Structure 1
């Protein structure tokens, strides 16, 4: 559908009317939201935000789009409250924006300032990093790489939601090599739809995934279930989320795109073209260009979404005002009683919050016990194998393959440990949230990398043979030689020669066995030290992650409970306000509230009609 002048005028007219209505209702905060959205109308660049959970391949995707692998950090997430912007410029450059001013940096240093693993001193107070480069895809386009939207990374999610106020379109990344879309990602999308209408799903890492199509279908199913569940509790929410069901899905592979670029640099154009086609980057690039060309369409959708969100808030307030000013006061009393009861229950919940959190303090100890038990089971076969090594040659062969074997065993144990810890901690923290009446969170340690736990000490060779101990070995050997020689001398005169030879052979074998036992002990000590080191490093890494989970969950709970209290107290104040008014004043207040409610309904109807007209056209950009 072409964007007509009439459609644009309808959208802008609606925004102006909703803005004036919000001011009339005394909601300057909602009016400011619309002002900020509308102020972007004349911007010449189309802003496309790339969002998604950690390890979904966002940064590598952007690097592949602009043909610069390694430009943006891919091994760690974007730092909290920070974003990375790519726009077109004559040369490659990077500018760090901080609270105390801007500073130019070498693009090779971007990770130091914008990555969660960067230099803490450098990334402090960084608001964002602006990168310019001369690439045709960036003509009229600004790409934003954002912090991950994982449910436990609360600051990341809030920062990304805030950035969406400036977005014309959203590319939401999911991976073909990870789990399907999780609930916290769907909840983020529900928030995103209040701010931006042009949403496309990008399924990354399809190069090695034989189940990419099955995973795509599972993602669609989960999305449909989420929208349906939202519809049962709030029909309005379901209508707002319905466009997600028609949003385009774009499977891509940054890895294949990088391979195509490498082949092209070698002059192998045919091979490069095939890899580029398999990468799926072409349709994604076409979508980005379509968003740039359909700038007015995507911005119309964004403005309408903002209008719907503002009107929803104004409608809820008007409904309470109508009830509170009713003639008999019955409806207002009923609502007030509900609010008072909810506040009493919330007060009890907040009082019990600390008690419910006590068990969370011991999660670290339980994690440590899991690690020790798992690694002890893995170590047992090594102890048994070492005890069965009977020769120096066998010991040397075993030691040669020991470092790699231990590393593989610990990596296998890591996967089991992570799964068990995820179940344990997820269950404990979600029981804590359930006790507070809050929604559960999906917790997954898959994004956590295993710490380096193997050691070069395992490369050591078995010790050399010990020197001859004359007192412990020499005297017994001489005695044995004399005794055997005298015994054999009665049978044969050469017995005195055979005796020392036999004694030497016996003592040599004895020394060999003692050396084998010493080497076995040394190997056992090496393996024991290795697994002890592994247990320490793994426990520390997991305890840190679990502590972050616990803090994030408890902070999320505190914020949610505080938000509930603030909302309930505001509603109670509104419902109590008319109590001291005369009947005439209540009647006048009721009529004003009814007028506001009717006006909100009229504007909402127009907004939804415009959304229904614009939505299919936005999805058709792909």
Structure 2
């Protein structure tokens, strides 16, 4: 009788231990690093709720948390601020301005003031990027839940903000209601999000209010097959937040249990737990496999060098000495060709970013001028908030493009300096150190006077300290790709407009008439463009300086490594023939194990990426989850 096939998680765990044992034997330092990295993987997965206005999204979040009224329901006019719910022993909240200002404690009774433009912010406060709310909720011990602003619709600039949130989520909780099938905006959003997120859970809300919810559900499934085929086999969770809230007022425990079960909320919560946490565990294992792959790349280079030393010692020593002289000359040269190349690439990056900022701002102004022409009184009043969100979206696009172009500079210059094998060793060294070679320092903070507030809100945020060049494989610390030897420059996060639209709207007098609004819009976008141009230019200047120092340091590290390799070659040449043959046999055995281990790791990573994780018992439309995972 043949043994039953191992499940994918067990296969991954088995291969992980085999490779760790190999690393413990041939590279103990690397094995220790992988184990430490795996020990730090306890970061909770994140579920981001997405939905159009009035779909019952915030009510459903409150029901999942068992806290009616916690997340403000259908705030009159949402801002770009979103809510992040986490676990704590006692309820606490804070408004967050990442990378710029210290968090500000928030009274839960005033939460709506921080997330709705229809309510005044507490006196002297600025709009936050997000508000963290922590409390003693069992569901939140294993997962964080993000409630995104829904005003404006998924086919507006708020939809782009939702796409951005989706990109960093472990899973999406996509909320539609039972009043009617998917809108065009919802279907377009699902088409766009298909390549950005692994897992989507669908919730059909307000099913108690609409008797025809089953027909709507069937229509939604048909629309997904036609317009978003990736989710064609999705299973929906019909839910009623209102019914779940009614359970708290039921006359007896039996009625409480019945209402809660019929609400569908417990089934959805169970799916969130099982599906998301299960998927997160597999993604964590994937990161462990990538870290092992990084170490195996380095070990393979070192074993290959040792094999050459044992077979052609004198020739290998000659090659190493020539390479050391070449790199030393590169480092000492007054012209430094690599610096010239770096400056050329940086200048090209600067021009490309200038053109991109100009195009983005021009397109945004055109879009809003058309929106003003078509707006009624209420739409006109809401436009400043929409401009605020659009400024955030545009600034993040620019931020990502700056990061991508800095990536290209690093790849171009480093690829010209080092061989593929040398890059593999450098990547592993920097990954183990945990500190990238380039850290863009936060600029001096100006006093928070009223004159400075606009600049603060339009300043560099989101963690300028995260703008780092790191020579490590993509995916080691959660990047998207894997199995490459390319170099990564983590994006310089330049987030313009955390409150720019809000501040300009509050500090400039403008009438509601359309022509006055167009004048205000022109001024606001001109201010934003000027500030963004300056921020990008400053960051590129700093990045060039830091990159130059990092490359010089990398050259020094490689020269030192060559000197160590020369000492190892000298030792190998002094070995007797028998001992040398025995050692060569062992090195070749390890090389074969490394090669097959890397192939197996790549195969398992591919299977993890395509794996579909379902919660146990998902068998009916009322209890299931998306097949998108």
Report TM bin, short chain. 0.3 to 0.5
**Greater Rg, structure 1 or structure 2?**
1
When normalised by structure 2's length, the TM-score is 0.45
Which has the larger helix fraction? Answer: 1
